[in-house]
Amino acid sequence: MAHVLIVEARFYAHLNDLLLAGARAAIEKAGHTHETLTVPGALEIPGAIAAAAESEAFHAYVALGVIIRGETYHFEVVSNESARGIMDLTLAGLAVGNGILTVENEAQALVRADPAELDKGGAAAEAALALLALAERFGS
């Protein structure tokens, strides 16, 4: 049984509730346990996962958050750098599922976050568990 850390950037609470529901359901359906850690924004997620990984208490990680395009360049910075940070962690050998939504508007986020619709939170949890299975298969 794996113990999974869900790290969420809780900027949009109502959307994150949906992402969390999907991620938790997927982890529990697979027979694993989980904890949730909340950080201020998507840029803090990779650092939080890196810090948690040092504890060796978790087998996999799920990154959740919502970034909605605004009127400034900030959207690109947060989207690109949070994704790069997560990719760096994955390439370093951590099993991380990226469920950070990068969308144009709230309507797009609702469809993607809702477990009854696209369930991107559940998909991120499934991705993390798939990477964990690969690591176990290849002995890393």
We report the CATH number of the domain holding residue 70 as 3.40.50.960
Residue 75 labeled ligand binder: no
Number of domains in the chain: 1
Q: Which domain holds residue 90?
A: 3-18+35-126
Whole-prediction pTM: 0.97
The answer to whether the annotation marks 6 as part of a ligand binding site is: no
In a domain, 140, yes or no: no
pLDDT score of 33: 98
75 lies in some domain: yes
Burial of 111 (0-12, 13-18, 19+ CB in 10 A): middle
pLDDT of residue 134: 96
Residue 19 predicted with pLDDT over 80: yes
From the candidates 14, 34, 59, 74, give the one annotated as an active-site residue.
74
Whole-number CA gyration radius for the chain: 14
**Residue whose entry in the numeric block shows the structure tokens 């997927």:** 26
Question: How far is the C-alpha of 4 from the C-alpha of 106, rounded, in Å?
Answer: 28
| 72 is an annotated ligand-binding site residue | yes
Strands of the chain, DSSP E: 3-9, 33-39, 60-68, 96-103
Q: Is residue 139 domain-resident? A: no
Residue 135 lies in a domain: no
Q: Does residue 91 belong to any structural domain of this protein?
A: yes
Q: Which residues contact 35 (CB under 8 A, 6 or more apart)?
A: 3, 4, 5, 6, 58
Task: Kindly list the distances between the CA atom of residue 136 and the CA atoms of 34, 52, 82, 95, 139, in Å, as whole numbers in the listed order.
Answer: 19, 20, 26, 10, 5
What pLDDT, in 10s, does the model give residues 99-130? 999 999 999 999 999 999 999 999 999 999 99
74 catalytic residue (yes or no)? yes
Per the domain annotation, does 29 fall within a domain?
Answer: no
Task: Give the model's pLDDT for residue 139.
Answer: 85
| Distances from the Cα of 85 to the Cα of 44, 111, 135, angstroms | 9, 25, 20
The response to whether 28 counts as a known ligand-binding position is: no
- Above 80 in pLDDT, residue 82? yes
pLDDT digit string (tens) for 26-72? 999 999 999 999 999 999 999 999 999 999 999 999 999 999 999 88
Q: Is residue 72 part of a domain?
A: yes
